[in-house]
Structure 1
Amino acid sequence: MTSAQRKMRLSYMASEIAGQLIFCVISFYILKFYTDVYGLSAAAAGTILLLARCIDAFDAPLWGILFEKTHSRWGKSRPWFLWLCVPFAIFGVLTFVTPGLSGTAKIAYAGATYVVTSILYTGINTPVTSILAALTPDAHERVVLTSFRMFGSKFAVLFVNLSVLPLVSFLGHGDDRKGFMVVMPFYAIGTVVLYLLAFRNLREVVYERRQRLSVRESVQALRNNAPWAIIFLSSLFFWIAFIARISSAPYFFEYVMHRADLTSTANSLDFVSLGSILFLPWLCQRMSKRNVWAFGLAGSAIAQLIVFVGVHAHSVSVVLDGWVVGFLASGLAMAIPFSILSDSVDYGEWKSGVRAAGFLTAIGAAFCLKAGSGLGGALPAWILASMGYVPNVAQGARSIFGIELACIWLPALAYALAIVPVVFYLRYELMEPMIQRDLEERRRTAALVSESL
């Protein structure tokens, strides 16, 4: 590995850590924060999470179109790290501020801050994925870069889960409202610093026609782009499953396992997924990416069954075993789509002549992540509300069943559904070498024509 490669890989990893410092707190703890700290009903909290996802149905494509129209001396994706890091950090803090409001005003404030943070996260996280296609044309190096990105993600998740609740308790002196308001600015500062580091060090080097794509041209890159459609469908179900599992974990460990102290420990086990992510390039050289992807999703579903066995055996160790297996498997299932989205960008260019990395990434990655996160948070909240959940009291049999349904069976079903489209991916994976050769020839021809004019 050369010094330039090392710098690029570490800087790409930093861009992922930057976003996770805030988004991880939201993904893991916003539902519990809304119901048990800020005092919203579970139904209202679920509605807020879904509202943000409905807005994402519009803002993700708009961001994608905006990215395609971006041409600056820094490239198409890279400048957004500079432009959006401070607004995203500010609204990430405001999401956990609890002003003395009541009734509709209280719900409106929570909804507004969460929605704006969500919109800004789409704007700043999408370039983390879209820039991959511009950093290198090499498919294997893209897998390596994705592994570094996932390492950064898991490192950030571990750091947040080990630190956020203890810091909230310590700095809030038992007042969680105060604790979140004090802790979140520290994470926000880290977010800004790391995004600026990525902006400084990353470079977009893959040749691209300097043109501002119209909406019609951007949409054309979706037409008959079967590998992108497969990624979209599978990723949507994956994120519903993953977020449902982690957002309902605080309720699960407090009320089902009667071990609220294990919430941070269990969610911190996400770090073990590095064990699978570090082997991702090696695995993808020895078997198809389709098979690695399907194996990760199947393992994630099986892990939910292990958790179920642990619950009914009254065994904390078996439950945690299921948690570990789930994170190990989901590491593969999470990383592969981020890597192969760049391949779907190449496929779209090969098929239609339009290279719409920003647009395809905004919908294929950012929208799936945000829509899945919203549904993965909203569905458990609505399940809890329908089963009679009341915060901070002993739960009855009906609400306990609701928590199990939200934390075990909803994710298991979504993981299983995510496998279905993956089955059809191998055909397009086998076409990648031929597509790369054709695109390289087209780019050489275009460069020669440009020089002759």
Structure 2
Amino acid sequence: MQTQKLSTLEKVGFGAGDMALNVVISSMMLIITIFYTDIYGLKTSDLALLFMLVKFIGAMSDFATGQLTDSFLSRWGRYRPWLLFLAVPYGLSVFFVFTTPDWNYDAKLVWAYSTYIVMTLMTSGVGVSYISLPSALTADPQERLSANGYRLFLAKIGAFMVTIVVPILAERWGHGNPAAGYQAAMALMALLGTVLFLFCFFTTTERVVYKVARQPLGEQIAVLAKNDQWLYLAGACVTGTIGYVIRGSVAAYYAKYYLHGDTGVVSAFLSTGVAAAIIAMVISTWVTKFYCKVKLFRYTQLIVAVLSVLIYFLVKPGDTMLAFVLYFALSLIVDLHAPVFWSAIAETIDYGQLKTGKRVSGFAFGGISIAQKVGMGIAGGMIGVLLTYFQYQPNQEQTPLALQGIALMLSVIPGFFHFLMGALMFKYRISDEYYSTVKEDLRASQVAAG
């Protein structure tokens, strides 16, 4: 019988996949907005529609990918082949997004739409397959949680590289041309992402092969709609993603304009948040060994809401040291729930199978990715609208209204969505003890069915 234990190499290889994925995720959350406004030259009023439309397309693409993975099975497994075949197209798409053509504004807007859409489609292909992979690696929930700890740790390392390396390399390699500098720096990140996805493919094994019955789309939606725990998790994903994206997208603006920082300060501020998140992955893996993971999820998000309000009222323009300390604390606490969230998806699938008698796997994972895209789309639209409302003007001294808006977008506004996320998780009840019961009941029903 094949062991359900994962080797350290396999956990690292699995984590490398999320590191590759974070080349895009971190860039989209921390760099793309300020890149588009301050370097590429897009108007803030155009950002809202761009972000919302692209994320809508991404949500549909995630949905389609989820359907494909349910109906696809090869000698390499159900999910890993997508990482192999899409690694290079994924890397190329990232490179083109950060390429700034010397064209007129309308042509550049078309290029931004086209490249962003292609990258979103490639990210769906690798992303949905990757987040579905833990359910196939092992049936052991503790091994899944451990693997997700590696995954999220390495994901934050990838984010750390993007935040600290890209701005500095862009300045050095650009030689006074920021657009050329970002193109070169992101080319390096794109190459890294391609190599890491290939490494993930070659070091992991799909041990668990679920039989997924062919179900009409309407029936799958109906089955998933009866899975109340998955619905709460999806709702938490939407609200949490809105908070993450708004805060992450405005962090560079906050460091540059509110704290009056240069490129080094911007890089350090972004990296401080990522470094705190890396530490959070280690702490979370340790804490969940003796403290309820669901309670950890709930209360950390409520604490984040409180910290967000404190940042807004305590940090004044140019108050760099206090801003760094509070931002570190917030970034540490907000990510303590992350390993719990990603391991919980597989558990809600088992719960749903027990409750309804039908298993919806790829669609369930794809649905979480859709929830992420919905959150990103809403957040992207809000960012464009808010920057326009607060009268932000790129590359110049900001008005008091713009500074207040930037401060709100880093603190109170995302904090409200984290409060909603924590509140939703009071409805979620699949603890480790409860999940053990679910597994036993599933096993018994399978034995009874022959």
Question: Fold conserved (TM > 0.5)?
Answer: yes
Aligned-residue offset at 1:241: 0.7
Greater mean alpha carbon deviation, residues 272-281 or residues 337-346: 272-281
User: Which residue of structure 2 lines up, in the alignment, with residue 165 of structure 1?
Assistant: 167
- CA gap 1:383/1:125 in 2 versus in 1, 3 angstroms: same
Asked whether the 8 Å contact 2:212–2:361 carries over to 1, the reply is no
For residues 275-354 of structure 1, what are the structure 2 equivalents within 5 Å? 275-312=279-316, 315-354=319-358
Asked whether the 8 Å contact 1:237–1:415 carries over to 2, the reply is yes
User: Which residue of structure 2 lines up, in the alignment, with residue 197 of structure 1?
Assistant: 199
Asked whether the 8 Å contact 1:288–1:426 carries over to 2, the reply is no
User: Which residue of structure 1 lines up, in the alignment, with residue 189 of structure 2?
Assistant: 187
Asked whether the 8 Å contact 2:70–2:78 carries over to 1, the reply is yes
Asked whether the 8 Å contact 2:305–2:412 carries over to 1, the reply is no
2:387 paired with 1:387: no
Cα shift readout 1:244-280 (whole Å, capped 9, x = no counterpart)? 1111112112221212442211111212223232132
2-structure distance, mates of 1:4, 1:144: 9
Asked whether the 8 Å contact 1:16–1:149 carries over to 2, the reply is yes
Greater mean alpha carbon deviation, residues 274-283 or residues 44-53: 274-283
User: Which residue of structure 1 lines up, in the alignment, with residue 418 of structure 2?
Assistant: 415
Aligned-residue offset at 1:110: 0.4
1-structure distance, mates of 2:430, 2:102: 57
Asked whether the 8 Å contact 1:20–1:157 carries over to 2, the reply is yes
2:17 paired with 1:15: yes
2-structure distance, mates of 1:426, 1:404: 35
Aligned-residue offset at 1:89: 1.0
2-structure distance, mates of 1:401, 1:313: 9
User: Which residue of structure 1 lines up, in the alignment, with residue 377 of structure 2?
Assistant: 374
Choose the corresponding residue for 1:72, options 71, 74, 77. Answer: 74
Aligned-residue offset at 1:231: 0.7
Aligned-residue offset at 1:105: 2.2
Asked whether the 8 Å contact 2:212–2:359 carries over to 1, the reply is no
- CA gap 1:141/1:2 in 2 versus in 1, 3 angstroms: closer
2-structure distance, mates of 1:199, 1:310: 47
Choose the corresponding residue for 1:437, options 432, 440, 446. Answer: 440
Cα shift readout 1:339-382 (whole Å, capped 9, x = no counterpart)? 10010111122223333222111111x12322223333331221
User: Which residue of structure 1 lines up, in the alignment, with residue 404 of structure 2?
Assistant: 401
- CA gap 1:258/1:314 in 2 versus in 1, 3 angstroms: closer
Aligned-residue offset at 1:211: 4.7
Aligned-residue offset at 1:4: 5.0
2-structure distance, mates of 1:330, 1:388: 29
Amino acid at match of 1:328: L
2:252 paired with 1:250: yes
Amino acid at match of 1:320: F
DSSP 3-state at the match of 1:312:
coil
User: Which residue of structure 2 lines up, in the alignment, with residue 108 of structure 1?
Assistant: 110
- Residue ranges of structure 2 left out of the alignment (5+ in a row): none
Question: Sequence identity of aligned pairs in percent?
Answer: 24
Aligned-residue offset at 1:445: 6.0
Asked whether the 8 Å contact 1:222–1:360 carries over to 2, the reply is yes
For residues 6-155 of structure 1, what are the structure 2 equivalents within 5 Å? 6-155=8-157
1-structure distance, mates of 2:5, 2:415: 43
Asked whether the 8 Å contact 1:32–1:247 carries over to 2, the reply is yes
Aligned-residue offset at 1:147: 0.6
Amino acid at match of 2:119: T
Aligned-residue offset at 1:386: 1.4
Aligned-residue offset at 1:443: 4.6
Total equivalences in the alignment: 446
Amino acid at match of 1:405: L
Cα shift readout 1:149-199 (whole Å, capped 9, x = no counterpart)? 110111111111110011111111121111122222221221111111111
Aligned-residue offset at 1:433: 1.1
Greater mean alpha carbon deviation, residues 318-327 or residues 434-443: 434-443
Amino acid at match of 2:7: Q
Amino acid at match of 1:422: M
Aligned-residue offset at 1:210: 5.9
2-structure distance, mates of 1:121, 1:2: 29
